[in-house]
Amino acid sequence: MNIIILIPVFNDFKSTSKLIEEIDNSISNLNASFSVIIINDASTEEKNLENKNLINIKSLKLVNMRNNRGHARCIAAGLKHISENEDFDYVIPMDGDGEDRPEEIKNFVEKIKDNPNKSIVGERVKRSEGLIFKICYFLHKIITYTFTGKFIKFGNFTCLTKETVKKLIEEKATWSSFSGSLAKTESNLINSQSIRGSRYFGPSKMSFLNLIKHSLAIIAVFKSSVIFRSIAFYAIYLIIIADYISVITAIPLALIIIFGLVILKISGRENMTEFNNCLTNISDIDILK
């Protein structure tokens, strides 16, 4: 069983180095062959990976991109590269900062034994951020469910079958939102409980603004549902306030219109032509093991 761990990184090689070391230790007793592919999203800091004594990781490659495309597109390009150039049975995308815990890889491998043809998602059951962020993240999930009908409780940390990878690289939404595209293309996902870890070094890069962008990108994947539900909410609310129309009561109507326009704008990121040509952004590949 060949498993490739896909790690996007931008200016965080110190954390990624520690992550690779932790992965190497965590997979020591697992009955599978593991390789690691790091997608360097045009980092401006020195590419310094301190991994000289890897025992259990079969191979380690660093794919260097010419231009920064952002986290989601980094994963999308990595999936396309793996699909076209690597021998694999499963792909495990995970963040390079320690927030996706290497010790949980064994849970994926155990789930694979019972569900070899189904992809697995790390369902967050506990987070490490502060209270305010947790509240905002909960609101993000509620809003997403309200407008899309999808209760998405997972991020990048997943275990994808070869068939799922194929679906994702044929879906333009993957170019904009990994978790949104996965929820769209796969309806029968297996859950594996996952605890959000703490970053190895430095503060979390998931700021409040980034959380909003992340949430809107997921919702935009289901823009047809958003438009339909927005029209329904608009019509129902208009009926309710028909006898009480004022500047104040009209505010929600304006917000619904603005929200719909923002979602349509963000959905424009789903560019299949760019996705199909994304591997031309690779400058070179370093074989580190």
| Parallel, antiparallel or unpaired: strands 57-65 and 190-195 | unpaired
Structural domains in the chain, sorted by start: 2-206+271-287 (3.90.550.10)
**For residue 34, pLDDT beyond 80:** yes
| Contact criterion met (CB below 8 Å) for 143 and 215 | yes
pLDDT of residue 205: 65
Cα 101 to Cα 158, 178, 212, 237, 266: the distances in Å are 12, 19, 24, 44, 30
pLDDT of residue 182: 96
**For residue 80, pLDDT beyond 90:** yes
And the tokens for 126?
């506990």
- Segment 141-168, tens digit of pLDDT: 788 888 888 878 888 999 999 999 999 9
Beta strands in the chain (DSSP E): 2-9, 33-40, 57-65, 90-93, 120-126, 154-161, 190-195, 282-287
Provide the greatest CA pair distance for the chain: 74
pTM for the structure as a whole: 0.89
Which residue, 69, 62, 70, is CA-closest to 6? 62
Give residue 126's pLDDT band: very low, low, confident or very high (50, 70, 90).
low
As a whole number of angstroms, the distance between CA 21 and CA 27 comes to 10
Q: 3-state class of 4 per DSSP?
A: strand
**For residue 17, pLDDT beyond 90:** yes
- Segment 192-234, tens digit of pLDDT: 999 888 888 877 666 667 778 888 899 999 999 999 998 998 8
**For residue 271, pLDDT beyond 60:** yes
pLDDT of residue 245: 84
As a whole number of angstroms, the distance between CA 76 and CA 53 comes to 29
Which residue, 210, 214, 224, 212, is CA-closest to 147? 224
**For residue 275, pLDDT beyond 70:** yes
- Segment 90-118, tens digit of pLDDT: 999 999 998 899 999 999 999 999 899 99
**For residue 179, pLDDT beyond 90:** yes
User: Out of 65-74, 171-180, 187-196, 272-281, which region has the weakest mean confidence (pLDDT)?
Assistant: 187-196
The pLDDT of 251-259, averaged and rounded, is: 90
**pLDDT-above-70 percentage for the chain:** 94
pLDDT of residue 88: 97
pLDDT of residue 196: 84
Which residues, 6+ apart, have CB-to-CB distance to 90 below 8 Å?
Answer: 1, 2, 3, 4, 108, 112, 159, 160, 161, 162
pLDDT of residue 10: 94
Which residue, 83, 77, 84, 61, is CA-closest to 280? 77
Q: How far is CA 72 from the centre of its chain?
A: 6
The pLDDT of 55-79, averaged and rounded, is: 95
pLDDT of residue 75: 97
Task: Give 137-164 as a DSSP string.
Answer: HHHHHHHHHHHHS----EEEEEEEEHHH
The pLDDT of 71-90, averaged and rounded, is: 96
User: Out of 28-32, 132-136, 172-176, 220-224, which region has the weakest mean confidence (pLDDT)?
Assistant: 132-136
